[in-house]
Amino acid sequence: MGLLAEGDEFACQSFGGDGSDRRFFRCRAGQRSLIVILPSLTLNQAGAEARASFFIGRHLYDRGVAVPRPYAYDEESAGVVFEDLGTVLLYDEANRPAAEPVVIKKYYAQALTALAAFQIRGREEFNLDFCWDTQHYDRSLMLERECHYFSREFCRGYTAVSPPAGLEDDFNHLVKLVDRVPADYLLHRDFQSRNLMICQEEIKIIDFQGSRLGPLAYDLASLLNDPYVNMPHSWRRELLSKYLGEVTKYTAVSELEFMDSYYHIALLRNLQVLGAYSFLSRIKGKLFFKQFITPAFSDLQILLRGELKGAYPHLQRFVTGFPPQKLQILSGN
């Protein structure tokens, strides 16, 4: 079936894409609305990213995972066309002043169901050649794009505070531990409320072009420790238990082994988020992200004072001793 019918009136409107430099357009032709994505003008591998977006999307859609239907990919322009899911993000609903907790929990439950399918069903017959960045969430990625990203962009860049001596020892210990965790599941790597849309009261997953193989816990930690929403900790525990129930519909998972690694993986995600928000607000000028640095740092403090107390002493001393007023001043609060 063609995307356009003869005589259809055509209109196109651009809209923003959060941290991405890709260009997004909502295009309407007759009664049909489509999302057209053109590649970044600054990314060296923009064409490869676009190709991954389409072919990973097609694979997931064909496996019955809750993603938008991919319609077309043009290799010459690296343009991709997807089904239009509307404009409502889970982030929007979760932060709506009059939002009802029972409704928000319903959507998070849907998100966990979709995540389990993404990780397990999406892994089936997944072609690693689809991956444009790396094929695996591995030791090198953990160190360079999460641990060192935090040191460089958050510590030295955003706060202008030098990381403490010994921090590299903590990072090496963390990465060595997580590197032993089974990592043959499909990983989204940015599974959070602004990459989940509500379309006809159902959750759909977007922005999956960075998918690769990795551990189960990473995407769950991304969702439950999402600074965009700052979910109550009682909800996090409840939803974590629900997630394990969803995953076991597909594969056997030891809750004890999962929990042994979960908080360490959550720490890696937290470091990545602080590095990313610092970089995007300071270097890219995307000031929207600045407001979420303080809640992300608060989550890091809670993690290192609680479940991971004593596990990473140099990082813990740095985080617990950090002047609280400094982040408030930097974020303009």
Residue 261: closest CA among 310, 306, 215, 299: 215
Query: On the CB side of 274, how many CA atoms lie within 13 Å of its CA?
Result: 27
- The confidence score (pLDDT) of residue 30 equals 74
Show Cβ contacts of residue 183 under 8 Å, excluding neighbours closer than 6 positions: 136, 137, 138, 213, 214, 215
CA distance 140 to 170: 15
Contacts of 223 (CB under 8 A, 6+ apart): 108, 111, 112, 115, 191, 192, 193, 239
SS3 per residue for 228-274: CCCCCHHHHHHHHHHHHHHHCCCCCCCHHHHHHHHHHHHHHHHHHHH
What residues of the chain score a pLDDT lower than 70? 1-8, 19, 329, 332-333
H or E stretch at 320: helix 313-320
The pTM score is: 0.93
Check residue 4 and give its pLDDT. 55
What does 2-60 look like in DSSP terms, one character per residue?
-SS-TT--EEEEEE--TT--SEEEEEEETTEEEEEEE--SS-TTHHHHHHHHHHHHHHH
Residue 44, pLDDT score: 81
CATH of domain 10-83: 3.30.200.20
pLDDT tens, 157-180? 999 999 989 999 999 999 999 999
pLDDT reported for residue 2: 52
The total number of residues written for the chain in this structure: 333
CATH classification (class only), 90-331: alpha beta
Q: Where along the chain do the CATH 3.30.200.20 domains lie?
A: 10-83
| CB-CB neighbours of 329 under 10 Å | 9
Instruction: Specify the 3-state DSSP secondary structure of 206.
Output: coil
Give the residue range(s) of CATH 3.90.1200.10 domains in the chain. 90-331
* pLDDT attached to residue 1: 40
